[in-house]
A and B are shown apart, each in its own frame.
Chain A
Amino acid sequence: MKKISVKNLCFSYVKDEPIVKHVSFNIHEGSYVSIVGHNGSGKSTLARLLIGLLAPDDGEIYIDDELLTNKTVRNIRKKIGLVFQNPDNQFIGATVEDDIAFGLENRQIKREKMHEIIEKFAKRVGMEDFLDKEPSRLSGGQKQRVAIAGALSLGPEIIILDEATSMLDPKGKSDIKELIEEMRKDNPSLTILSITHDVEEAFLSDEIIIMSKGEIAFKGKPEEVFSNREVLKSLNLEMPFIMDLKDRLKSEGINVDKSKDLDEIAEVLWPLK
């Protein structure tokens, strides 16, 4: 089922300087899609358009076959959770629990219920021991986990992560990646749209959309994208470690095309002398 459908989307901040140019794509319910592309290629702008923070110049956005307009935006926004890049600039509450509560207050959830919800989602992201801590006493990764808890607590059907890991250290990054995997297991119908620079992260997704100068340069399964050396080269993208490894093994005459992860490659490799 189509969850997000974008048709011929155009947008410019300043007249005659289009930032998003005739973009069209569909995203199915429960899929995990990565959007990659250079800085300034219009990824964040696209995310802001999808949640109705910006209004398109031309084209349409459908969420669950409902056209995004001034009238429907409040309803549609309830289905989408957005996590931004900078952990500091989306922390609104004075403490972790107040921050998770912020969205719930907006939804007019009863106070008696709020505490339960906050505890549940704080636990979900592993922040249950930090409920009364102020943001200045948390690491970037912890703040980002709180932001995810805040988004999840509103029960969204779609989560958009706009470079949610790009300001984090390696530990913070891998924590968030794990969290995404767990979120998908918890709720298989959750649609995840992740804007990222991290090729390893993009490789885990079901589908990759590559944006370049406001247009979709390529769209397909991770294997297709990363086996297309021309595309990678023209977009200056690295290859994920596992694809690179497979390639190099192949050039040594070892075929590991069927192996999906490092363990399976190891299975093929260890009997060899």
Chain B
Amino acid sequence: MNNVTFGRYSPLNTFTHKVDPRNKILILILLMVSIFLQFHVWSTTLLLSGVFLILLICLMLISKVNFLDLFKSLKSMWFLVIFLLVIYVFIPNPTYKFVCYRFNDHYAIYWDSFYQSGYIILRLILMISLTMVLTSTTKPMDLTYAFEWYMTPLKVIRFPVHEIAMTLSIALRFIPTLLDETDRIMKAQASRGVDFNRGGLFKRFKAVISLIIPLFVSAIQRSEELSDAMEARGYNPREKRTRYRKLTFSWRDIIALLFGLAIFGGILYLFIYDHNVEEIDLFMQIFGINVGF
């Protein structure tokens, strides 16, 4: 139960940890958009992805994110990788140009498909890693505060921003409690002879049911008591409340934001140039090499 390490918050004190969570979310979005921009010449896109990879590694080093955790969580992606490869390679696409192997007049495998699937996987890895940097350097509660802050304008159309943020923060607060509870119920059921690890599909299904039902019952009881406790302490979602936690913007945020904007702006400029003026072939321009196609 406790081996979920992917992106779990690690209480350190690095530069990234100290950046305002609202700012971190904004920068994450800027970087993700930059990663998604695709150029006409495939080698240009790939080269820029490589630049992102180097940036990501630097960011992970600064934030002291555990590389091992990242590899562990990426390992579970192999199925997706194969799935994407099969889809891209075997499903014909009229825009593909470079034949790799021709079966007959109507059907062939193209180099383009390998590039496309490889590129998608690279993008996915980049995005997962970036998100992981965010979640492992930001307290879950701070993420909720940031979320609430971004959603504030929606209050105008009576979207229950505060209620959702409060629900989210309570859910986060109760994850460890419910994990403990799950553990306890599993042990209690195991002592009654329920086997969670062996048996056929039906038997396992029954075992899981014997876990889920008590867990639900206890969660509902907890929520009833919790709402009583909140009301007893004067909580009323419709009333104004003050805030103990304050999100503050510091010089670190300015540096981080400038960094994010610089990357986003640079890539966006190249992208617009590539699409409206002329195709950019970075390999040709930097190394003087024509990588074909």
B228 close to chain A: CB less than 8 A: yes
Closest chain B residue to A48 by CB distance? Answer: B228
Asked if B149 CB lies within 8 Å of chain A CBs, one says no
Main secondary structure of the interface of B (DSSP, over half): helix
Task: Find out whether the CB atom of A106 lies under 8 angstroms from the CB atom of B228.
Answer: no
Residue in B172, B232, B236, B244 with the greatest tally of chain A CB atoms within 10 Å:
B232
Q: Which residue of A lies closest to B235 (CB)?
A: A106
**For the side of the interface on A, what is the size category?**
35 or more
Residue A24 is within 8 A (CB to CB) of chain B in the complex: no
Residues of B within 8 A of A11 (CB): none
Q: Which of B255-272 contact A (CB under 8 A)?
A: none
B226–A89 touching, CB < 8 Å = yes
Which B residues are in CB contact (< 8 Å) with A80?
232
Contact-size category for B = 20 to 34
* Most A-side CB within 10 Å, residue of B169, B170, B173, B235: B173
Please indicate the chain B residues that have their CB under 8 angstroms from the CB of A89 in the complex: 222, 225-226, 229
Tell me how far the C-beta of A99 lies from the nearest C-beta in chain B, rounded to whole angstroms: 9
Residues of B within 8 A of A48 (CB): 228
Is A101 touching B244 in the complex (CB atoms < 8 A)? yes
Q: Is the CB of A53 within 8 A of B234?
A: no
* A135 to B222 Cα, complex, angstroms: 15
A108 CA to B235 CA, complexed, in Å: 11
Contact assessment for A77 and B232 in the assembled complex, using a CB-CB cutoff below 8 Å: yes
Interface 1/0 per residue, A70-84 and B, CB below 8 Å: 000010011011101
Q: How far is the CA of A264 from the CA of B113 in the complex (A)?
A: 92
Q: What 0/1 readout, one digit per residue, does chain A (81-123) give for beta carbons within 8 Å of chain B?
A: 1101010111111100110011111111111001100100000
By a CB distance below 8 angstroms, the chain A residues around B226 are 89-90, 92
Q: Is A150 an interface residue (CB 8 A)?
A: yes
The answer to whether A51 and B244 touch (CB under 8 A), given A93-B173, A135-B173, A136-B177, is: no
Which residue on A lies nearest to B173, using beta carbons? Answer: A94
Most buried by B among A89, A90, A136, A151: A89
B81 interface hit (Cβ, 8 Å): no
Interface 1/0 per residue, B232-262 and A, CB below 8 Å: 1111100111111110000000000000000
A105 and B173 contacting across the interface, CB-CB below 8 Å: no
CA distance A199 to B139 in the complex (A): 44
Q: Which residues of chain B (207-240) have a CB below 8 Å from chain A?
A: 222, 225-226, 228-236, 239-240
Q: How far is the CB of A9 from chain B (nearest CB, A)?
A: 19
The answer to whether A94 touches B228, judged by C-beta atoms less than 8 angstroms apart, is: no
Known: A89-B222, A104-B244, A111-B243. A53 touches B173 (CB 8 A): no
B159-181 contact mask (Cβ, 8 Å, vs A): 1 or 0: 00000000001101100110010
Q: Does A154 contact B (CB under 8 A)?
A: yes
B59 within 8 A of A: no
Cβ of A201 < 8 Å from any Cβ of B? no
Contacts of A135 in B (CB 8 A): 173, 176-177
- Please name all residues of chain A whose beta carbon is closer than 8 Å to the beta carbon of B139 when the two chains form the complex: 94
